[in-house]
Amino acid sequence: KAAKELGLIDRIAYADELEGILADGKADAQVKLETGYGKKKLDTDFSGFAGMIKMMNLLMGVEPQKSSSRNPKIAVIHATGMIMPGSSENSPFGGAMMLGSDTFVKAVKTAADDETVKAIVLRVDSPGGSALASDLMWRSLEQAGKPVFVSMGDVAASGGYYISMGADRIFAEPGTLTGSIGVVGGKFGLDGLFQKIGITTEVITRGENSGLESMLHGFSESERKAMTKLLHDIYDQFTSKAAKGRGMERDELEKLAGGRVYTGAMAVKNGLVDELGTLEDAIEFAIANAKKRGAIKDDEKVDRLILPKAVSPFELLFGPIDARMRAKAAADGALKGAAAALGPEAAAHLEALETMNVLAREPRLTLMPFRLTVK
């Protein structure tokens, strides 16, 4: 918003609005963005020499042929792990998978474009993460054009709640940790560490906030002020969208925000969640809702479309094909091995480094700011 007010940008919009913007004012204009340019669809018959060629294409990322089943479906989209921009990947510290916004948005689009999918059930088990990635994931669900129902697992807090708040109905388990409607931000200031180990750095900058995200020093007073303003903007966006999604007044929602965390049972009472239930309860509700709307006939068999798609069996066996990803997987394996060698308790603490890793990559987070361990 500030960039638009200053004339640095022309318009505030999501990527899915670009086609409409390009065609704006042109009655006969037809604009279509080609996002999968150059990719071909193949069947999955790998027999013979031609099958081997198809297998190699699959390993290189060519999209497989879609399922031919015409039965009505409920798409079950799993949102597991800390939220980050880009593609989903394994945690380098032995924890849960990192949930990539690109992977998630692609899964939602797959469900939205499939005519046989009559509703989406989102299974959330995430403490949150990147504020930007959370917003892009929320937007994809808003634009799916199909009913969305949420089932919360162990944790659906901060960014995990962000992506859930626009759903038609939210289910949580009694012990689910949810809420944490808030934003945190910061960075590592490594100047003291560098001094201790004898590394000297000299930084030349122009502009009082040019070092806002530099890790070579802490925040100056001006930089802290600028960062605080950014965090307030994100918080206002979060609370406004949460209030609209839950059908509350902003002031009413604000009393439940401020980073406060609730169990699923508490969240049902305060209106952040609709009812207690499991994933199966959410799926059954989605099917019943679809039948009530006439999207599914009473005697029809209903299939489940599980998303995101699992990696190919070849990647499970041999690891990522891309050289950069292979190197990362090897490094991650070494870190996990080191963590395991320390013993279970020490390894659990080492997993806390994941938060530090996220903070180093994303200075503004919708992330539950603590870890809760039940023994």
CB atoms near residue 228 (< 10 Å): 12
Catalytic residue flag (residue 158): yes
186: left (phi over 0), alpha (psi -120 to 50) or beta: left
* Cα–Cα dist 232/226, whole Å: 10
Q: What is the CA radius of gyration of the chain?
A: 23
User: In Å, how far from its chain's centre is CA 248?
Assistant: 24
User: Six-digit token pair at 261?
Assistant: 């965390």
> Catalytic pick from 101, 126, 151, 158?
158
CA distance 185 to 183: 7
Q: Specify whether the backbone of 61 is left (phi greater than 0), alpha (psi in -120 to 50) or beta.
A: left
Give residue for tokens 């009393």: 255
Whole-number Å distance between alpha carbons of 279 and 121: 8
Question: What one-character-per-residue DSSP string does 1-54 give?
Answer: -HHHHTTS-S----GGGHHHHHTTT-TT------SSTT---B-----HHHHHHH
Which tokens in the block code for residue 173?
């388990």
Q: Cα separation of 355 and 347, whole Å?
A: 14
**Coil vs helix vs strand at 202:** coil
Which residues are part of the catalytic machinery?
A: 158
